[in-house]
Structures are given as structure tokens and as C-alpha cells.
Structure 1
Amino acid sequence: MISGFQVALKNTIDVIAPPATPIQDFTYHWKQLMNFYASHKSNCKLTIECTGIPQHLDCLVDILLDEEKNDDNPGPCLEYLLQHKLLDWLATLANVESPPGMRLVCLLFFRKLLSHTKFPLLHQSAVYGPVQRLISLCSGTIPSAIENEEVKFLLTLCFLVCRYPHLTNIVNVSSNVSHETNMAMKNDSERMDIHSVTYIPAKKRNATNALFQPLNTQAITLINPNLFACDHQRRRSICSDKFKYDALKKYKKHNSKISNRKISVRSNESTSSRDTENSSMCSSPVLQKPSQYIANLDTIINQRNLDNCDKESDIISSSLHDVDVKLKDFEDLRIDVSDDGGNYGVNSKKQSLSISPVLDTSNSLLLDALISYLNTADNTVRIRACEGIMILASLEDPNFARTIAESDLSIVITTRLENLFNLIPAHVDPAEIDDIDVTWGLDSPLWTNEKKFPGCRQVAAYFMWVDYCNQLIKEAHPHVAHSLAKNIRLLFFEKVLAPALADHHVLLITSLVTETLRKITAPIFDIEVGYWIVGEQRDPVIAEVCSTSIYERLIENCYTDCNDLTLETLKLFEEILDKRNEHVLHCMMLSYLSSRGYYDNGAADSAIASWSDEEDEREREKKGALDFSREQSHSRTLAPSNIHRIVNCFLSLMPRQLQTDPGEDNYERYMTDWEKQYTKVKMDCALFAWPLEAVSIDDSGSYDSRPEADHCSSRFYMGPFISMLLDKVINIPYQKYEINLQLTIVISRLALLPHPYLHEFLLNPLLPLTPGSKSLFTCLQKVIKQLVSEVTKTPKYKDILRETRKHLLEDCSQQIKENILYESVVITEEFCKELAAIAYVKYQHSM
């Protein structure tokens, strides 16, 4: 009974006083928001939480979003927002922070509206103008308690630009300046019409307060350049001017001080038309790439404005009447509009805001704002700024990409990289660096919040930024990626890392460089790092000639007496080889071996030592020509017919009295691992223009070519890198186990490369060498000869060898005395088996 009575009462009330429409609710909340400023007659010290402004703004955006749920077309509330430039007023209030905290709630309002609306509003001149002004207010260089919300707002804009790439001009500093501001410029191009919100003494009240001037009902956000070309639009313009004329009459009635203004309907009509057309044609990038939503929005706004002229006139007139009543008691708040566009009071200068975006030397407002947050102390804010920069850098627009490439982004990125590198303490243990596994996101808290070792946080921060640089270059547009990679190479690798490899902290620096290269996976970044290592020239370095390349400096470090430095440098070389950079491989090794100066063409057993008798005979007939028949799909250099002789040569290197493995020829256990690795190496090197066969060019047709060949053959130079490796191989009996192990790893990485000359030089023991030349096999023969002469002198050396092998290879917990000589025997024996396995794996893949 009671519930039925309540329903009847509610129905009766709805008949007598119908519920308010969305547009009525929308205008109500906006007027309530504006009434706050009209009701304060002195400088307002209230915080935003003590006012009803946040609640009114929440209601406004909720009404806008609810309106979209019920209709796929723009509704009257959205039209009202755009036509009356409400966002412009909010941007002004956000700038002057009136009341304190207004900027935060305005950012929340803009972000919620732009991110949740289904219409692409950003192209509208009533939207992108205030958005640009808010972007200019967001700066990480100025300490702010709301920087988290600022960067969220900027990140929202990045997502919108990513969704609508044709709107990139909106976030750039361009000619998107309001027509009124351009008209206000007179003699000085830098002087603009500035509206300032400021509190002044009560007796200096200005009746022409722009904040409460009649709202212009002309829709300036339409983007149709032919807006007034048809009768339909002319009728709309006349109707709109009628509303404006009525509104101004009401305003003059309540404000006698502006009675001498001259109102011309015809003048207003022409000015409004020109303003709309200029704003549409000059500023909106949508003219270049229209969208379905944009066209739909314009059509609906035009039609609804035409059909609801009378209704809108009543709403605006009522709203203006209420505001004019408030103006009678309003004494303290004013917007001082200077007539000459540049002169305004001293007090107003402190809280001034330009209607147009602040002009800057950069070309992108949004990018500059995001860059300013890269050095903030808040890790979350910095990561969000990094995400926004990555989104902008990945856009496919070539003009926008060039803008980013020419900006200060690469310099700021590199400067931060250098600063983080310099913060790493010198006492960090290089052995700890290998265990660090971090990424640039928020998924590495253990390394940033806990101390794993002294200096852990600084090291982790550096590698997190290296990872971000790598990901940014990988995702960025090629123009941006090349600019970033080149500047990092020039300003960080060459300016900072190169000199550091020669100072007294070279051990730590080498370890850091190794881990840095391991983090770099972007192809463009790899290319620039390769240029840093070996230079951009591809010509081989002449022996005994001073060179300043990084890899030769690293080679010098391998010859020092410091075992730890030698070990770390060999690890760095391993990482360089794992990059599979063709330019680096060519400059370090292949340019020296491609002449095949190590091969003795006059040797009697050359036919037996190379592929096969038949292949050698065919090559002699071709006289060294490189044009192999198209039917040949495999390399006879990598898959010689005498592969079993080659394998047996490696396996029989170690004499029986020094063999520690009871299986003797048990090299098959290495096959599976090398099979996987060689498959990956072949894929990485598939696009390299490497020859298929190792062939000597027979230039005996020239009358003086043979003496020159004989002269050059005795001067074969294998390059500084291979020379260093072979010198280290010869010194195996006198080096620590860790160095010998790392040395065999580096040589194995080289032997895996499917280059015919490199393969022949390293993995063909039957190769006829020119006089004075040495190969990997001959160096191993010398090592084993030294081991036999030294080890056999010790009584019960076989028992010691077995214990040493068990300790090294079987992870035995038993502690034995370190003996370099016996450890060298074990590692040399296993190294020969690895070389045999690699040769056979490459043979199988080349058949």
C-alpha cells in the first residue's frame, strides 16, 4: 500500500515537474561551477576539496559519457561543450590554480573525457587548443605534487595520437593559434592577446569581465571549409546571430559600462564565418585524413543546431541572465583583456595565460613535456613518460618521425645513460654483474629495492636504461632509430666508454661493456655498436701499423699480465662474435683470410688436402673462376670428401699416455649441443654475401704475377685478432684454467661460422700452409708436445690426470691442489674433441 502510494506520488510529481533533461543538468552544473568564482569577492584561499568544483566536473563528464551510451551520434551536451568552449575556461583556471588544486581536477576531467569518449574530439579546435595549453603546463623540470597525474594525461594523449596518427600536428607546435589572437597581434609578432585571471582590489572592478561574457553560440569546432556555402548553413548563421544579438542586449541591460559597444549583426556574421573557416582550414589536420566519426559529428552538430535553434536560444538566454545577476555583486574577480594585445597590469603578470600554445624552440609540445619527466625521482612517473615517448617514436608518419629525430630526444637519452654509468661505484665486483637481469619496466623490483651487492642499485639502474634504449630503437621509426643509435654511439660509446677502456678501472669497464652488448638486440643499434668496435672502414689493418680501433685496444688488454683482465676481455670477444655482425666479422678476421694467403698452391699433396681429386681438377680447369654451377647447392669446403681423416687428425692429437677419457674417441657427446648452435648460426648468417667455396685465384697468366705471389705468400698476415688467439693457444700450458676455457669457447664460436676460408684455416688439419704460416692445428701440435715433455716427468702423472679430470669435469667436491699443467692437458684433450665434433656437424649440414 505504501509502495503504491509512493509510485503514484512520484508519477504526480513527474507530471507537475518533469525531471530535468541531460542538457539542463549539464548547464546547471556548469553554472554552479562558475557561480563559485562570482561568489568570492577576495583572493580565494580555499582548497579545491573545500569547494563543489570536483563534484560538478565529475557530473559534467558523467553526463557526457552517459549521453554517448544512449546514442551513437553526438548529443546536445557535447555540442554545448564544444560550441561554448568550456574547455578553454577550464584550461585558464588550471593555469592560474584558482582555487588551489584546480589544475589536478582539470587534468582528471580532460583525461577521463578524452580517454572514454567514443568520438575523436582531439581534432576539434575547441578541444585541441585547451589540450595544447595543458600540455605546456606539464613540465617535469618544475617540482610538482601532481606530476603523476600530469604524466597520465600526457600518456593518454599519446594513446589517442597512436589511435589517430593523422592528428600528430595537434601535439606539435604549429600554426594552431586562434584567429582572435592573430588579429590582436599588431607590430610585435611575439606579443599575443593574454587573458589573465587575477584578484584585484574591490574598487578596481572591471565590468567587462570576459569570464562572464555572453557565450558565443556559433559552433567554431566544425571542420567543413564550405560551412556557409549552402542555404542551410546561411539560415543557421542568421539564427545564431539572432541569439547573439538577444544575449548582448541582456548583457548591456545589466552592465551599463559597456553600453557604448557597437554591435553589428552583419559584422559579427562575417567575422564569425571567417573565423570558422580559417580555424578549420589552417589548423585541423583532419582535412588531410577524414574519419567516419568526424564527418558524423559535424553532420549531427549542424543538423541539431538548425532544428533546435529556439530551444538553444532559451537555454543560453536563461543562463546568461543568471550570470548577469551574479555580476552585480561580483567585484573582485576579473579577466583583464588588454586592448593592444600586450600591455597588462603588473599584478596580472604573475598569473597570466596565453590563449594560444606557448611558443617554443622545439617542434613537439607533447614530446618535450614527456622528455622533461625522464629525470624525475619517481620511478613510476619516469616509466610512464618512457612509454609515451616510445609510442610517439613508433608512429609511422615520416614527417613526425623526422621531427622527433631532429629533437633533443637522443641527446637527453644519451646524457641520462652517461650519468647513470658514471654513478656506478668503482668497487663493484665484475663477477656480480653477470647475474643482473633487469628490464626497463616495473618488473625488476628485486634489483632496485634490495641490495644484492654493494653498488647493485646503480648497476641495475644503468642496465635498465640500456634496455630501454634498446627497446626504443627497436620499436621506433627508422628515422628516429638511426638518430638515436648514432648519437648513443658518438656521445656515449666513443666519448665515455672508449677512454674508460684504458683507465685504471678497465676490468670493471670491460665487464660492463660485455653486459651492455648482451642487452643490445636492436639491429640498427647493433650496426652502430659494430662501427664503434672496428670502425666504418672495411679495409684490413696492415701489420705493425698503429691503429686506434676499439678491438685492437681490447687485443692489447689480452696481452697484459692481469689474468682477470684477460678473462673479461675474452668474454667480451665472445659476446662480439655472438652478435653475428657481418661488418665486425669482416674487419676482425675475414678481410685477412679471404686472400687465402695461408694456402700453398704449389704443395704436392694439395689435391688430397682439400676437397677431392675431382673437385680440384675441375677448379684447375676453371682457373680459379668463382662462378660455380647452379646445380651445386652445398659447399665442398665445409663438406670435404676426406672428413673422416680430418676428424681423426683432431682425435689423435693427444697421445695415449696423456689421454684421460677412457672412451678415447668419445666426441659424440658434443654433437647435440653443436648441432643446435650451428643451426642458429646458419640462420643468422644466411643473408651474408659469403662465398660458397675457398678458392685460390690463379693469376699465373701475367708475366710478373708469380714472383709477386711468391713474395706475398711469405708475408701472410692473419690479422691481430686471430694472431692473438693463436698466441694464447700456444701459451695454454702456462695459463689458468679459466682463461684456457674461455679461449676455447671463443675459438669454437669462430669455428662455427659458415665462412669457407675461416673454416678451412681453423678446421682443416690437412691444409698445405705457406712457409712461415701457422694454423690452429699446428699450434695445438706445439702445445701437446710441450705437455708431453713436462707432464711425463712427474711420477704417477696418470693418477694425477684422472683426479684433475674428475675435479674439473665431473663437479667433484673433493678439493685438490691447483695445477695449471695438468688442467691444460684435460682442456686440450676436450678441445680437440669439440673441434672434431664441429667439423663433422658442419659436414652433415653442408651435404
Structure 2
Amino acid sequence: METFSKLTSMLLNALETREPTVDLLDSFVDHWKSVTNYYIETSDDSQHVRHTDIPWHLRQMLDILVYEEKQQGVEETGVCLEYLLQHKLLETLCTLGKAQYPPGMSQQVLVFFSKLLSQMQKPLLHLVSVYRPVQKLIRLCALPGSQTEKEEAQFLLILCSRVKQDPHMLRYILEITDQSGARTLDSGQSQLCTQVSSDKTENCHPSSQCEPTSLGPVLSDCHLLSALLQLTKSQRDLVSAKAYDSLLLLAALRSASSGEILSDQTHLGELLSGRLVELYSLLPLQSQNPGQVQGWPHTPWRSHLKSEPQASDHMTNFFSWFNFLDHLTREAPQVLSVKVSQCVSHMWLVDVVQPQLLHTCEQVVLVSTSVLCAVVRLVQSSTLLDQLVHFLLRTQSLTRLLLQHCDHISDQISMASLSLVEELLQKPHRDIMDILVLHFLQSRSYLSPPAIGIDDRHNETSEDGEDLEDDPFFTDTLFSGAQLPSPPPPPPSGQGSAADVVNSFLCLVPVQVRSAQLLQEGGYESYVHDAHTLMTQCQALSLSWDWPLTLPALASCSGQREDFFEGPLLKVLFDRLARILEQPYELNLQLTAVLSRISSFNHPLLNEYLLNPYIHLSHCSRSLFSVLIRVMGELMQRVQQVSNLTDRLLHTRRNLLGLSHNTGLEHLTMLRGVIVIEEFCKELAAITFVKLPLDQK
């Protein structure tokens, strides 16, 4: 009796275990037949799918699949899922969605695929019965006039999320196969096919469930990438946001081959760069305000997702997309980041911006330079910065053009170009300082040969070859009895003390033309805090550049000594500085800002050449200090023709500070230049003070 009871209990348990499975499969099949019977029994092709039972039946099928998986576990394949795969239900649904019968069917198909991929825990994308209809459904996304953008964006986002979980599926979603990759995936799929059919008497053949191998790499048509790019242009913020997120998910895949696949076997770089070019082409260069462009604020891509706005927002869209590319190249693997950045360089910088910089219209040159200035300031991606530096500084013809524009006949173009140089100097890229400045100072040929001797300083020649005795700055009768304060005599070593060096810059400006004390403004001490901040910024940039701590050795005097050339940047800066009394106030401020920033970098060559007034210059060489001496000589000649000089300087300074709005037009440019020189010398003194070792202060 006890044995009979145990047998009965076992049979009941078996029935309880088996019966729900049979019911689930029958129910699943019934729901599917209800969907297919609609097409057999209904002849009205105008009725929208929402007015039918199809959406409800599809939801029930999905619920059954999810419930079945929870009951049996992810490792096992349920009979309902097996039925869906073997009878190619997804293929059929994809065909119905493409036919849009009944109307709105594509929306229901997209929802079904999205929920299937997101709610099922078992990996499915590697199965041919899944990824082939998924590929077909991708081709139906982002078509012109689509009414299902919301569902398309959600489907593609879920698809990219699943690829992130299993990056090896990227090749299948992008429809890329190669011989080795396909062979590996074929093996895995054959095992899964066996698993799916383990309960069947007839096993599936690998040829029917597995992708055939190809002979080599095949370039993808990028249906997924093209669809995502198109959806980023959607007027619906939620749709475009999901498209952006999907692109980032793909670009940030960290598997060993994902970056190479996206960079070498897709057109992702070209697609992203093409969108940047498209947005740039919409900018109204002829009417754009250059100052507004140059100071364009940081525009996070999430804050402005609409890509086809009114004309007034074209600039916002451009910088928003650039910010997205900057973010993507920072998140992407190195190989993909480099590829996208190179595409940006070739398709936008070289093909579009470079011809504009050569344009005959000054407005086009000005606005394109201003855009570059803003882009350099906003870029954070190291690979994008590499390409910008290569474009601006390693393209010889363009580098020469950029520096020529710093001394352009148009003051606005000169200011924009100087601003671009200043922005470059604030980027963490060693090549910038090396190419623009340090390369030309390395030989130290700006120093006179040691044979000349330190005691022969009075025989040194200036940059135009005249003796100092012939320079009008040093004549005894120039100032009608008013003597200039002379810099302290240099010590025999050629390197002054802290006080000597600081005072050398402070004493450059004669007392007769100083005006700061008239308004009780501070001396150079007021610049010390700003100088310390500026030097800290420069030091943070150069910390990883392994700059030497000592000066390089001088070349032997026995060989042929090369003539010194300060480099095209310092040349144009010194030339501009020599004309500071003739230039607009705003241009002079930009000029001195660039010189101050270069001087703030703590490199032995810069400290010697720019901030040491006691070095002995070689023939036809000039330094920052010698140029300032020349400017002072010219200044003291000019001010003799200005009556009431002190009052005019006071009124001009008050006007610049906004304390007065009444100032005469006569000599205004020169008077403003005098004030800039005075403040610039105090700033150089402060920089020198901050850079000196503590034991010299």
C-alpha cells in the first residue's frame, strides 16, 4: 500500500510539472494563430491595428515567453521560445510590419521586438532566427516620413544595450562577417541550435540556423549607424536623445575587436563628421558676429537635441554636435577615437575650413578663425586636440598663414588670430610650445659669443645693427633735461638678482609717462596674484612634458655660428609690440596677453630669453626687453609733441576704467598704448617675481 501511494504521488507530481508547459505552448500557439487568422478572415485593409486584437495577442505571447523563462531558468530553452525560433515567427512579423498591414502594424512589431530583447534574459541575438529579422527591421527604421520614430528609437536603443552586454554580437548587427569571426560564431550557434532542439527527435542543421562563412572582411552598409544618425535629427527630443545614447553605447564598447570593427569596417567616422560639416554649412558666415562666435559658451549636447532649428540656432546646433563628438571620442576605444578625429580633420578642417581661411572675403576669414578659436577652447578630447594641432601647426602652409594673420591689415583678423594662438597655448599639448617657440630657442644663438666678453656690453648691437650710442633713446638731449631712470647695472655674471630683474622692467617706463599713481593704483604688486594664477595654470599644463631644469649647453664657437631667428610667432609678436603706440587698444591687450602667457611657462629658455634683461644678445638679435627699450625710445620722442601730457594720460586712464566718458580724440591711440605699456611692464615684473626661486626673493 505504501509503495502504491509513493507511485501515485510521483505520477501526480509529474503531471503537475508537465501540464503547465503543455498549456503554455498551446496558449502560445493559439495566440499566434489568432494573429495569422486575422489576415485570412479579414478583408478590410483600412482598419488600424489598434482596433484589432493583434496587439493584445502579441502582448500575451510575450508574457508567456517571459513567464516560461522565469519558470525554467535562463540556461534552458522553453518550448514556446523554441516554437518561435523554429517557425520563424520573427521573420513573419517583420514582413507584416514592412507591409504595414493592417495600418500601424510596424509600430506593434517594433514594440514586440523591443520588449522581447529587453525582457528576455537569455541571449538571443546570436541566433539566425533572431538577428536576421532584427537586421531587416533595422532597415525599416528612420525612413523618410516615418510615423514610428518613438518606437524605432526605443528598439535601436535596446538593441545597442544588448550589444553592450555581448559586444561579440556587434558584427552580426552591423551585418559584417569575416572568415575567422564567422567560423567562431558558427561554432557557438551550432551548439545553441543543438540546445534549442535537444527535446526534438530531429536536430536542426547548422546550415539552416547558422550564418555561412565569407572569404574575408566585408564593409558594412551601416544601416544601424545611418538610422541612428538620422534619428538624431528628429524634432522630438526623446527620440533624438535615445539616438545619441545608442551611438555612445556602440562607440564605447570595450571588447578587443569592437573599436577596430567600427573604425575599419563601417563608415561611422565619415557619418559623424559629415553631420558636423552639414551643420557648419548652415552657419551664416557673412552675417555672423565674430565676437559672439569666438566667445561661444560650452554647449552640452544633451541640452540642445534638436538638429533642425530656426536659423538663429544653427550655431548652437553646430557646437552641440561638436560637443557630442568630443564626448564620443573621449569614451571610445583609442583606435575608433583616432579614426573619428581624423575624419573630422579631413572632412571639416581640411576640406571646408582651410579654403575659408584662404578666402578673399575678410568676413569669411574672420568668422572661420573665430569658430576655430571657440573649438580649440572647448575641445577636451585628446585625439581631437591632436588633429587640431596637426592641422594648425603641422600643416606648414596653414601655420604660416595663421601667423601672417596675426599681423593682418585687418585689426579684427589680427585679434582673432592672436586669440586663437592664446587658446592653443592653454591646451595640454606639448607640441604647441615646442613648434611655436621652444624649437627656435634651443640653440641659444640669440646670445653673443663668449669671446666678445661681458665688459664689452656697450658694443652690442640692436636688432637693426645700430650701436646703442646711435640710438635716440640713449642721447643726452632727447628729453630736454629730463633724465630717464636707468636700469641697475648688470652684475658681471649676466644674471641679475631678484630686485635687479624686477626693477629692470619697472624702470623701463619713464616717470614722465606713468599715470597709474595719478589714480592711486597699485604698482606691480597688484599683478602678483594674477601672475601666480597664470603661472600655476601653465605649470599644470607642462607638468607632464618633462621639460629640462637647466639651460642646454652653448654650441662651440669654433664652428660656423648660425644666425638667430626667434621663430615666426615671436617675430610677429615682437613686430606688433614695436608698433604698440599705433595699434587699437583692444589689439594691444590681446597682444600683451599672448606674450604674458608665453612668459609664464617655466622653461629655462623662456626665462633666459624673455625675462632676463642682462643677457648679451648676438648681432641682429632682439629680445622682449630690447624691443621694449626701442618702444620707450620712440615713445619719448613722440610725447614731446603732446601738450598737457599728464592731464591727457589721466583722462585717458579714467576713460578706460569707465570713470569718465569725455576724452579728446587727439593722440588717443598713442596715449592708450602708453597705458598698456606701463601695465604690461608691471605684469612682466610680477611674472618675473613669481618665477624666481624663493631664496632670491
Shared fold per TM-score greater than 0.5: yes
| 1:509-565 deviation line (CA, Å, top 9, x unaligned) | 2212211222222111111111111226xxxxxxxxxxx522321222233332222
Q: Distance in 2 between matches of 1:744 and 1:37?
A: 79
Match of 2:659 among 798, 812, 816: 812
Query: Does 2:136 correspond to 1:133?
Result: yes
Residue of structure 1 in register with 2:357 after alignment: 501
Query: Does 2:530 correspond to 1:673?
Result: yes
Residue of structure 1 in register with 2:209 after alignment: 279
Q: Distance in 2 between matches of 1:57 and 1:275?
A: 29
Q: After TM superposition, give the deviation of residue 154 of structure 1 in Å.
A: 1.2
Q: After TM superposition, give the deviation of residue 414 of structure 1 in Å.
A: 2.5
Q: After TM superposition, give the deviation of residue 282 of structure 1 in Å.
A: 6.8
Residue of structure 2 in register with 1:225 after alignment: 191
Residue of structure 2 in register with 1:482 after alignment: 338
8 A contact 1:438–1:460 mirrored in 2: no
8 A contact 2:391–2:398 mirrored in 1: yes
For structure 1, which segment, 437-446 or 724-733, has the greater mean C-alpha deviation from structure 2 after superposition? Answer: 437-446
Q: After TM superposition, give the deviation of residue 844 of structure 1 in Å.
A: 4.3
- In structure 1, what residue type is equivalent to 2:391? W
8 A contact 2:276–2:322 mirrored in 1: yes
For structure 1, which segment, 408-417 or 765-774, has the greater mean C-alpha deviation from structure 2 after superposition? Answer: 408-417
- Are the structure 2 counterparts of residues 445 and 379 from structure 1 closer, same or farther at C-alpha, using a change threshold of 3 Å? closer
For structure 1, which segment, 689-698 or 776-785, has the greater mean C-alpha deviation from structure 2 after superposition? Answer: 689-698
Q: Distance in 1 between matches of 2:373 and 2:349?
A: 13
- Are the structure 2 counterparts of residues 677 and 37 from structure 1 closer, same or farther at C-alpha, using a change threshold of 3 Å? same
Q: Percent identity?
A: 30
8 A contact 2:240–2:306 mirrored in 1: no
Q: Distance in 1 between matches of 2:441 and 2:193?
A: 73
Q: After TM superposition, give the deviation of residue 473 of structure 1 in Å.
A: 1.8
| 1:735-767 deviation line (CA, Å, top 9, x unaligned) | 111000000111111112222212311111111
Residue of structure 1 in register with 2:680 after alignment: 831
Residue of structure 2 in register with 1:443 after alignment: 303
8 A contact 1:172–1:366 mirrored in 2: yes
Q: Distance in 2 between matches of 1:846 and 1:69?
A: 75
Residue of structure 1 in register with 2:374 after alignment: 515
- Are the structure 2 counterparts of residues 534 and 240 from structure 1 closer, same or farther at C-alpha, using a change threshold of 3 Å? closer
- Are the structure 2 counterparts of residues 783 and 59 from structure 1 closer, same or farther at C-alpha, using a change threshold of 3 Å? same
Match of 2:108 among 105, 108, 131: 105
| 1:38-88 deviation line (CA, Å, top 9, x unaligned) | 213x47332212211112222332344455666755665545544544323
- Are the structure 2 counterparts of residues 282 and 828 from structure 1 closer, same or farther at C-alpha, using a change threshold of 3 Å? same
- Please give the residue correspondences for 1:689-728 in structure 2 after superposition, counting only pairs within 5 Å: 689-700=546-557, 704-705=558-559, 708-709=560-561, 712=562, 715-728=563-576
| 1:176-203 deviation line (CA, Å, top 9, x unaligned) | 99xxxxxxxxxxxxxxxxxxxxxxxxxx
- Please give the residue correspondences for 1:234-273 in structure 2 after superposition, counting only pairs within 5 Å: 240-241=200-201, 269=202, 272-273=203-204
Residue of structure 2 in register with 1:623 after alignment: none
Query: Does 2:508 correspond to 1:653?
Result: yes
Q: Distance in 1 between matches of 2:547 and 2:441?
A: 12
8 A contact 1:91–1:106 mirrored in 2: yes
**Structure 2: 5+ residue stretches without partners:** 1-19, 180-185, 458-493
Match of 2:429 among 564, 581, 588: 581
For the residue of structure 1 that corresponds to 2:444, the secondary structure is coil
- In structure 2, what residue type is equivalent to 1:416? R
| 1:441-463 deviation line (CA, Å, top 9, x unaligned) | 341389986x8xxx532222222
Q: Distance in 1 between matches of 2:351 and 2:188?
A: 53
For the residue of structure 2 that corresponds to 1:240, the secondary structure is coil
Q: Distance in 2 between matches of 1:388 and 1:462?
A: 20
- In structure 2, what residue type is equivalent to 1:500? Q
| 1:80-103 deviation line (CA, Å, top 9, x unaligned) | 544544323222222222222111
- Are the structure 2 counterparts of residues 176 and 549 from structure 1 closer, same or farther at C-alpha, using a change threshold of 3 Å? closer
Q: Distance in 1 between matches of 2:100 and 2:126?
A: 26
Q: Distance in 2 between matches of 1:175 and 1:499?
A: 40
For the residue of structure 2 that corresponds to 1:772, the secondary structure is coil
Q: Distance in 2 between matches of 1:568 and 1:222?
A: 59
Q: After TM superposition, give the deviation of residue 30 of structure 1 in Å.
A: 2.5
Q: Distance in 1 between matches of 2:674 and 2:531?
A: 22
Q: Distance in 1 between matches of 2:530 and 2:64?
A: 65
Q: After TM superposition, give the deviation of residue 722 of structure 1 in Å.
A: 0.6
- In structure 2, what residue type is equivalent to 1:518? R
8 A contact 2:235–2:307 mirrored in 1: no
8 A contact 2:233–2:307 mirrored in 1: no
8 A contact 2:283–2:315 mirrored in 1: yes
Computing the radius of gyration from Cα coordinates, the structure with the larger value is 1
Residue of structure 1 in register with 2:174 after alignment: 172
Match of 2:626 among 750, 754, 778: 778
**Structure 1: 5+ residue stretches without partners:** 1-17, 178-219, 242-268, 284-358, 537-547, 609-638
- Are the structure 2 counterparts of residues 166 and 360 from structure 1 closer, same or farther at C-alpha, using a change threshold of 3 Å? closer
- Are the structure 2 counterparts of residues 670 and 59 from structure 1 closer, same or farther at C-alpha, using a change threshold of 3 Å? farther
Query: Does 2:332 correspond to 1:459?
Result: no
Residue of structure 2 in register with 1:732 after alignment: 580
- In structure 2, what residue type is equivalent to 1:501? L
Query: Does 2:6 correspond to 1:29?
Result: no
8 A contact 1:367–1:392 mirrored in 2: no
Residue of structure 2 in register with 1:370 after alignment: 228
For the residue of structure 1 that corresponds to 2:692, the secondary structure is helix
- In structure 1, what residue type is equivalent to 2:111? L
Residue of structure 2 in register with 1:142 after alignment: 144
- In structure 2, what residue type is equivalent to 1:757? L
Residue of structure 1 in register with 2:671 after alignment: 822
- In structure 2, what residue type is equivalent to 1:468? F
Q: Distance in 1 between matches of 2:382 and 2:243?
A: 24
| 1:462-504 deviation line (CA, Å, top 9, x unaligned) | 2222222222222222111111212221222122111211220
| 1:775-829 deviation line (CA, Å, top 9, x unaligned) | 1111111222322332354333222222322332x44363434511221121111
Query: Does 2:96 correspond to 1:93?
Result: yes
Query: Does 2:89 correspond to 1:159?
Result: no
Q: Distance in 2 between matches of 1:222 and 1:591?
A: 57
8 A contact 2:235–2:306 mirrored in 1: no
What is the root-mean-square deviation in Å for CA atoms of aligned residues? 3.6
Residue of structure 1 in register with 2:481 after alignment: none
Match of 1:39 among 38, 41, 64: 41
- Are the structure 2 counterparts of residues 445 and 161 from structure 1 closer, same or farther at C-alpha, using a change threshold of 3 Å? closer
Q: After TM superposition, give the deviation of residue 158 of structure 1 in Å.
A: 0.9
For structure 1, which segment, 415-424 or 776-785, has the greater mean C-alpha deviation from structure 2 after superposition? Answer: 415-424
8 A contact 2:393–2:399 mirrored in 1: yes
Q: After TM superposition, give the deviation of residue 669 of structure 1 in Å.
A: 2.3
Q: Distance in 1 between matches of 2:456 and 2:633?
A: 28
Residue of structure 2 in register with 1:62 after alignment: 63
Residue of structure 2 in register with 1:428 after alignment: 288
- Are the structure 2 counterparts of residues 154 and 176 from structure 1 closer, same or farther at C-alpha, using a change threshold of 3 Å? farther
- Please give the residue correspondences for 1:567-646 in structure 2 after superposition, counting only pairs within 5 Å: 567-602=415-450, 603-605=452-454, 642-646=497-501
Q: After TM superposition, give the deviation of residue 734 of structure 1 in Å.
A: 0.8
Q: Distance in 2 between matches of 1:433 and 1:480?
A: 29
For the residue of structure 1 that corresponds to 2:163, the secondary structure is helix
Higher relative contact order (CA 8 A, sep 6+): 1
- Are the structure 2 counterparts of residues 22 and 170 from structure 1 closer, same or farther at C-alpha, using a change threshold of 3 Å? same
- Length-normalised TM-score, structure 1: 0.67
- In structure 2, what residue type is equivalent to 1:143? G
- Are the structure 2 counterparts of residues 420 and 606 from structure 1 closer, same or farther at C-alpha, using a change threshold of 3 Å? farther
Residue of structure 1 in register with 2:270 after alignment: 411
8 A contact 1:438–1:444 mirrored in 2: no
- In structure 2, what residue type is equivalent to 1:777? F
- Are the structure 2 counterparts of residues 437 and 363 from structure 1 closer, same or farther at C-alpha, using a change threshold of 3 Å? same
- Are the structure 2 counterparts of residues 569 and 718 from structure 1 closer, same or farther at C-alpha, using a change threshold of 3 Å? same
Residue of structure 1 in register with 2:255 after alignment: 397
Q: Distance in 2 between matches of 1:665 and 1:826?
A: 14
